[in-house]
Amino acid sequence: MKRIYSYITVFVVISIVTILFYNLQNSTIDKKDVNETVYSLKVKEKDSFWIYEVYNNGALFISQEYIPAVKGKQVFKTKLDAEKIGKLVVNKLEKKMFPKINKDDLNKNNIYYNSI
């Protein structure tokens, strides 16, 4: 009978240690992931149009003055337009995709541009 108790104690101790170990490991991994991919978006007014900036851990990474992908120096006419595309860029970065915007992205978000 005593033997069973000591077996149970050993089992419980091992379980607790294992669970604690995994939790600790997971939490450090989570922290690391978050630290590596902190992207933030700033939408700014410049003259009479809007630009977006993407920051990586607080450092300027992308400063987008023109509507990406389209021909010419076309600008975002509204804050919402710049914000929508900026958010899309951040989403792509967070999914570890290349942060490139194509014309489909612009059309889906109803961004106005001239197709010269």
Binding residues for another protein, rule: CB under 8 A, are 36-37, 53, 56, 59-66, 68-73, 93, 96-103, 116
Whole-number minimum distance, CB 83 to another protein, in Å?
16
CB of 15 to another protein, least distance (A): 19
Q: Which is nearer to another protein, 19 or 97 (CB)?
A: 97
- First-to-last alpha carbon distance for the chain, in angstroms, is 87
Between 39 and 79, CB nearer to another protein: 39
Nearer to another protein, 9 or 102 (CB): 102
Long-range CB contact pairs, 51-59, < 8 A, 24+: 51/75, 51/76, 51/82, 52/76, 52/82, 52/83, 52/85, 52/86, 52/89, 53/86, 54/86, 54/89, 54/90, 54/93, 54/99, 56/93
CB of 73 to another protein, least distance (A): 5
Q: What is the CA radius of gyration of the chain?
A: 25
User: Measured from the CB atom, is 61 or 79 closer to another protein?
Assistant: 61
**What's the full length of the chain, in residues?**
116
Smallest distance, another protein to C-beta of residue 108, A: 16
